[in-house]
Amino acid sequence: MESIGRLLQSLRLKKNLTLEHVSKQTNIATYLLEALEADDFTKLPASTFTKGFITSYAKVVGLSPQRALAIFRRDFAVSQSGKIMPKGLAKPLDKETVVTSKWLVVLGIVILLLGFGGYIFFQLRNYSLPPSIDMTRPKPNTVVKGPIVPVKGFVSADSSVYVNSQVVEVFPTGEFQATVQLSPGNQTITVKAIDSNSKQSELLIPVYVVDK
Q: How far apart are CA 82 and CA 169, in angstroms?
A: 25
DSSP 163-175: ETTEEE-B-TTSE
Summarised one tens digit per residue, pLDDT across range 24-54 is 999 999 999 999 999 998 898 888 889 999 9
CA distances from 87 to 3, 49, 78, 110, 201 (A): 12, 19, 9, 24, 32
Nearest CA among 121, 96, 129 for reference residue 197: 129
The dihedral over CA atoms of 123, 77, 172, 26, expressed in degrees to the nearest 10, equals: -170
Q: How many CA atoms lie within 13 A of 192 on its CB side?
A: 10
Q: Is the pLDDT of residue 89 over 60?
A: no
Summarised one tens digit per residue, pLDDT across range 102-141 is 788 888 899 988 988 877 766 666 566 889 999 999 999 9
Summarised one tens digit per residue, pLDDT across range 147-173 is 999 999 999 878 999 999 999 999 999
pTM: 0.42
CA distances from 172 to 3, 66, 156, 178 (A): 24, 17, 10, 16
What is the predicted pLDDT for the residue at 23?
94
What is the predicted pLDDT for the residue at 5?
92
pLDDT band (50, 70, 90) for residue 96: very low
